[in-house]
Amino acid sequence: MAFAISHEEASELAVHEGGVVDMLVCADKIRAHYRGNTVFTCSIINAKSGSCSEDCAFCAQSARHKTGVSIYPMLTEQEIVDRALRMEDAGATKYSMVTSGFMLREKEIDIISAAAAQIRDRTALDVCASLGELTETMARKLRDSGISTYHHNLETAESYFHNICTTHAYAEDIRTVRIAASAGFRVCCGGILGMGESWEQRIELAFTLRELDVDSIPLNFLNPIPGTRMENASLMPPMEALKCIALFRIINPDRDITICGGRERVLGDFQSWVFLAGANGLMIGDYLTTAGRNEKMDMEMITNLGLRPET
């Protein structure tokens, strides 16, 4: 881990009024130093949707919520592969298979593993997965299939987690992150900002990720979905969102930071500022249950800024 600021220094920076642009410029310099001017692009497929047993307050796929989201079992191997081929053509460099639910069954793991092997053989994509909790046996099988990155968000700080989810313990998520790392995966782990957490809790999450030594940090912004417990939450102001990105970059200077769900609604015309704020990755295409921006627009945004899309 590169040199990074202390918890106390981060706390002082978070509550400091004014100077947001100066903070962004600092984060941009850190990004350029450690990650260069290359931007990687991720895409995902919602390979199994809805009917999740967990009660996460933000999630449209929880069985506790009535959101009208599409509900379907695991897609076929070929459906997952066909989407990967399309997203590679659209400019994605990483492709993640994402499923709803606490943990997959063995037959579902078999489908994911077979799809991963096909994608690895037929594309240049980095193959990723986000499949809920892991056992060591599951992790080894998925790793052997050709999946290189395992994604598992902590969602928020441990001190705030009980406000977001009560159906499993934070320690279970930490354990899955550690199992993934032990199995040889590159670990992608972050959270959702703007769910009512304090600045101190955002810092707590950033330092937890630093202590876990995760490789990549995906940052999402709450996009309140009708029918969820957070349907009436306010959107985070754009400058606050950019300050969050900068803070995570300053605390985790040499990690990949990817901007994901909610950016279109929260950032609006400021979406291109995510790189100034320290991000070096962008999720393109649609999200799990909400539509994303046109992929071509995002690729043009990257090149128009003088940045280099990863190939």
Length of the chain equals 311
Say what the pLDDT of residue 1 is.
54
The per-residue pLDDT for range 231-260, each reduced to its tens digit, is 999 999 999 999 999 999 999 999 999 999
Give me the CATH number covering residue 201. 3.20.20.70
Under 8 Å CB-to-CB from 171, ≥6 apart: which residues? none
Are the C-beta atoms of residues 255 and 33 closer than 8 Å to each other? no
**pLDDT-flagged residues of the chain (< 70):** 1-3, 286
The alpha carbon torsion through 32, 33, 38, 43 (nearest 10 deg) reads -90
Left (φ > 0), alpha (ψ -120 to 50) or beta: where does 157 sit?
beta
Would 31 be classed as within a structural domain? yes
Say what the pLDDT of residue 287 is.
73
In sequence order, the β-bridge partners of residue 221 are: 193
What residues make up the domain containing 199? 7-309
CA angle 49, 52, 53 (to 5 degrees): 170
Place of tokens 């899309």: 309
Say what the pLDDT of residue 292 is.
77
Would 217 be classed as within a structural domain? yes
Are the C-beta atoms of residues 61 and 289 closer than 8 Å to each other? yes
Would 260 be classed as within a structural domain? yes
Place of tokens 């081929």: 85
Give the pair of three-digit tokens for residue 248: 């995570």
Say what the pLDDT of residue 77 is.
96
Q: What is the pTM (predicted TM-score) of this model?
A: 0.94
Would 215 be classed as within a structural domain? yes
Would 61 be classed as within a structural domain? yes
Are the C-beta atoms of residues 228 and 259 closer than 8 Å to each other? no
**How far is residue 95's CA from residue 225's CA, in Å, rounded to a whole number?**
25
Place of tokens 């999630």: 59
Place of tokens 């009208």: 68
269: number of Cβ within 10 Å = 7
- Kindly report the backbone phi and psi dihedral angles of residue 163, in degrees, each rounded to the nearest multiple of 5, phi listed first: -80, -15
**What's the total number of domains in the chain?**
1
Count H helices and E strands in the chain, helices first.
11, 10
- Which one, of 230, 92, 80, 96, lies nearest residue 155 by Cα? 230
The per-residue pLDDT for range 103-140, each reduced to its tens digit, is 999 999 999 999 999 999 999 999 999 999 999 999 99
Would 2 be classed as within a structural domain? no
Say what the pLDDT of residue 2 is.
67
* H helix intervals, the chain: 7-15, 20-35, 77-90, 106-122, 136-144, 170-182, 199-212, 238-251, 263-267, 273-276, 295-304
Would 1 be classed as within a structural domain? no
CA angle 195, 197, 198 (to 5 degrees): 145
